[in-house]
Amino acid sequence: MSAWDIRTAACELLTCERERRDREPLSDEWPDLDLATAYAIQDATLRQRVAAGQCRVGVKLGLTSRAKQRRMGVDEPIVAWLTDDMAMAAGEPVSAERFIHPRVEPEIAFVMGADLEGPGVTAATAMDAVAWVYAGADVIDSRYRDFRFTLPDVVADNASSGAFVTGPTALRPAGLDLTTEAVLVEVDGEIVDTATGAAVLGHPAEALALAANALARRGQSIMAGQVVLTGGLTDAYPVPPGANIAFHFTHLGSLTVRGG
Residues forming the site for ligand OOG (CB under 6 A): 60, 62-63, 68, 72, 105, 138, 140, 142, 147, 154, 159-160, 231-232, 236
Minimum CB distance to ligand OOG, residue 68 (Å): 4
- Rank residues 119 and 202 by Cβ distance to ligand OOG and give the closer one: 202
- Rank residues 128 and 167 by Cβ distance to ligand OOG and give the closer one: 167
- Rank residues 192 and 224 by Cβ distance to ligand OOG and give the closer one: 192
- Rank residues 154 and 208 by Cβ distance to ligand OOG and give the closer one: 154
Minimum CB distance to ligand OOG, residue 154 (Å): 5
How far is Cα 20 from Cα 181, in angstroms, rounded to an integer? 35
Cis amide leading into 31 (omega within 30): no
| 186 membership: H or E segment, kind and range | strand 182-187
CA angle 255–197–253, rounded 5-degree value: 25
Minimum CB distance to ligand OOG, residue 199 (Å): 11
Determine if residue 111 is left, alpha or beta; phi over 0 gives left, psi from -120 to 50 gives alpha, anything else beta.
Answer: beta
Minimum CB distance to ligand OOG, residue 38 (Å): 13
- Rank residues 57 and 128 by Cβ distance to ligand OOG and give the closer one: 57
Decide if 211 contacts 59 (C-beta within 8 A): yes
Decide if 51 contacts 17 (C-beta within 8 A): no
105 class by beta-carbon count within 10 Å (0-12 exposed, 13-18 middle, 19+ buried): buried
Minimum CB distance to ligand OOG, residue 67 (Å): 9
- Rank residues 75 and 115 by Cβ distance to ligand OOG and give the closer one: 75
Contacts of 110 (CB under 8 A, 6+ apart): 130, 131, 132, 133, 134, 173, 204, 208, 227, 228, 230
Minimum CB distance to ligand OOG, residue 70 (Å): 11
Name the residue among 88, 101, 97, 82 with its Cα closest to residue 137.
88
Decide if 5 contacts 156 (C-beta within 8 A): no
Q: Which residue has its beta carbon closest to ligand OOG?
A: 62
